[in-house]
Structure 1
Amino acid sequence: MFKRAAKTLYDAVINPPADEELKESWKKSGVSLPVLWLVGKTGAGKSSVIQKLTGYDEVEVGNGFRPCTQTAAVFDYPQQQAILRFLDTKGLGEVGYDPAEDLKLLGKQSHALIVLARVSDNEQSQITQALRAIRKSARHIKPESVLIVHSCLHQVPNDSDRQRAIQSNQQSFEQAWGKPLDYCEIDFTDPADGLAPHDRGIDELRAALADKLPSVQLWLHQQRHDDAESKNFERLQPQVLWYAGTAGLSDAIPLAGLVTVPATQGKMLHSLAQQYDLQWDRRSITEFIGVLGTGFAISYLGSLGGRQLAKLVPALGQTVGSATAATVSFVSTYAIGRAACVYLYKRSVGESIDKADIQAKYKAALKEGGEARKAVLKNGPLKDKRAKNDSKKDAATESNSVVENPNE
C-alpha cells in the first residue's frame, strides 16, 4: 500500500497539471488577493511607491493598471501569478473628482491602507476627510492596517522644519482616524537629480508593509544579496509563494490534498526548472530527493497521509485538521521551492551540488515560511468577522469587486 501511494505521488510530481488547472482551482476556492489601497493627493508619490516595491519601471506600471471603476484602477503583482493587488484612486483634490463613492465602495474591498502625504504640503484637509469617511465605511480596516507615508522629504531640506511638518500632518491624520497610526518617511527621487540616496526609506516601507499584510511579508522582506543565486531567488520568490498558497488552499479539503499538493509542488518544480532552462524529469526528482536527505521522502509521505486522516475526524478534523494541513502544505511547498532554486542554480552553472547547503536553505525556509504563515493566521485581515459579514452583504455587487480571484 505504501509503495502504491508513493507511486501515485511520484507520478503527480513528474506529470503535474497545467498552470490553467491550478488557476481554476484557486478561482473555485474563492480566496482573494490581499489588496493594498493607496490614497493621497496628486504628486504625493503613489506610482513611485508601486515602482519601488515591484521593481517595474514607469511604463510597466502605467500599462499594468486596469480600471475597476471610472475613477480607480488595480495593478496585480506579479501580473501572471499575482500575490498582491495595488488599488489606486484618483488624486484627492483633483478638479471635478468627488471621492465619496470610491471611499465608500473600495474601503470594503481593501485589507491595508497606505496614505501618502508630501511633507511640503501643509494643506491636508482632503486626506483627513477621506480618513474619516474610510473609518466609517470600512470598519474592518483597523488602525494597525493603516500606514501613513510622509513623502518627498527633499522638498523641506531643513531637518527641524521637516520634522515639524511631519508631526503636524501626522497629528491631523491621527485625529481624523481617532487612533494612533504607524508612519514612515520616504524620499524617492530620480538618480539624475543627484539627490542621494534616491530610494531613501524603502527598507522601512517594506518592513512596515510586512506588518500590515502578513500574507506577503516573505516577499516584502526581500533583502539585498551579494550572491547570484540569492538574486535569482528574489526574482522567482513570488512564483514560489503563488504555488505555496495554491498548495495550502487545496490541502484544506479532506483527502483532496493527497494528490493536489504534490501535483502543485510538481508543477512548481517544472516551472522553476524552465526558468533555469533545465528539464525536470525522473532523474532530477530522484537526485533532488537524495539531496534533501534519505529521511525526506518517508517524512513527506507520512506527514501528507497523516494530515488527510486528521481532516476526516468528525468536527475536530474539519477545523484543526484542515487548518494544520493548509499551514503545513504552504510552508513545505515554500521550503521545497527554495531548496529547488538552489539545486537548479547549481546545475545550471555547472557547480557541484552541496547537500549541506541545500538542506540548510530548506530548513531555513521552513522556519521563515512558518513564521509568515503564523502571522497570517493570527493577524490576517481576512479573518475579521466584520469583514466577512460585509462580504456577505455585498454579494450582490461581487462581480464589480476589485478583490477578484487571481489569474482570471
Structure 2
Amino acid sequence: MTPPGLIIAAPASGTGKTTVMLGLLRALAEDGVVVQPFKNGPDYIDPAFHRAACGRASFNLDSWAMARGLLEAITLQAHEADLVVAEGSMGLFDGVATTGASGTGATAELARRWGWPVVLVIDVSGQAQSAAATALGFSRLDPRMPFAGVILNRVASPRHERLVRAGMAAAGIPVLGALPRRADLALPERHLGLVQAVEHPDLDRLIAGYAAFVREHLDLAAIRRAAASHSAPEVERGTARLAKPPAQRIAIAQDAAFSFLYPHLLHGWRNAGAEIRTFSPLADEAPDDDADLVWLPGGYPELHAGTLAAAACFLDGLRRHAATRPVHGECGGYMVLGEALIDKSGESHRMAGLLGLVTSHAQRRMHLGYRRALLLAPMAGIAPGTMLSGHEFHYSTIVSQADAPLADVVDAEGKAVAETGSVRGKVTGSFFHLIAAGAS
C-alpha cells in the first residue's frame, strides 16, 4: 500500500521549494516519521540532497519518460514509509507539449495519479493580497488535482505577512506557514543547477538549519493532516516493473566528476541481482578486471579534466576493458571516452581516446530536453532496435566526431537531434542520460 503523501510545488522555478523540501524532510525525520522522498522529472541532483536530509533513498518519477509499470514500481519503494513527500519541478503545470510514455511530465500529474495534495510554495516578495490570485488560479485550474494550501516564502515583515494572509483568507486558501526572507539559506548553484550534495562539506549543518527554520515557521501538524486527508490508490504489483540490469557485474564510476545516474536504475539493477562495483577515476582507480560492463555516468569532468588526463591507472584499465567488453559513457562520461576535452579556459586535455570525439566547454551552448533514442547498435548490453527514453542537459559543444552514430535521436516533439551518440567497437557514448529502456 502506498502511504499518504503530499507534493511540494511552486508556480515557477526559483521560488524556494527546495529549501522547504529539505527542511521539511529533516524536520519530519527528527520527529520519528519515516518519510519517502521523490522528485518529479529528470533531475539527477536533488535526490542526493533528499537522501542527505532524511536518510532514505529518493527516486525520480517522470510521466513523460516512464511508462505506468515503471512509475508504479518506483512508487512501491514507499511501502514501508509513513509519509511520502515529493518535490515538484519548474512550475506545477509545466510539462512538455506532447504526451510521452504516460503523460507530459508535469508535477500536477503526480498529484492527480496518486492523490497527493499539492502544497504550493509562493514567493510573495513585491506583492501582498495579490498573491491570493496566484494561489486561487493554481488551486482551481485542474479540479481533479488535490490542493492542500500554500506556504508563503520571502515574507518581508510581520505586516507583510498579515496582508498576504488576509488575501488568502478572502480567497479561501489555507496558509500552512510563512517563511521570512533569509538570503543566507540559499544553496550554491552552477550551470546544471545546485552544486552536488557530495561537494558540501557542511551539508548536514545546512539542512539542520533549514529544518529549524521550517519548524519555527510552518504548521507541521497541519501539513501532516493535509497529507492524511487523501488516500493513494492501490498499485497492482503484477504490473510494476523496475529497470532490468544490462549486465551481471557492472563497474560504475562514482565521485565528484561522475555522479549523474538516475537512482531508480541502480536500485532496479541491484534488485534484479546485479553486482554494482563502484570506482573513482579521480582517485586513479581502474574498474574491476572481472566486470562485465563499465558505465561512466555524467557529472562535471570538465572541472577535473587535468586530474582525469593524468589518471593513468584509470585510463589504462578503461582501455583494457574496452578491448573485450562493453563500456558506456553518458554526457560527461561520453566526453571522457573521447580523444580530448577542452575546458572553459580553452586548454585541451587528452582523454581515453576510445571514441573519436573532441568536446569543448570554451564554446558553450545549452542543450536541454527530453530525448527518444532508437538504438542503431548494441549499447551496454541493450539490443539494437530498443527505444530508449532519457534527458539531455549540458553546455558542451562537439568540436569533432569520427564514429558511427549510436542512435536515431529525437526530442519530445519528435524533431531530430544532431547529437546521436557514438559507437566504436564495444564502446558507446551519448549526451542523453538514460531513464528507461523499451517497455516499462
TM-score, scaled relative to structure 2: 0.29
Higher helix share: 1
TM-score, scaled relative to structure 1: 0.30
Q: Whose RCO is larger (CA < 8 A, sep 6+)?
A: 1
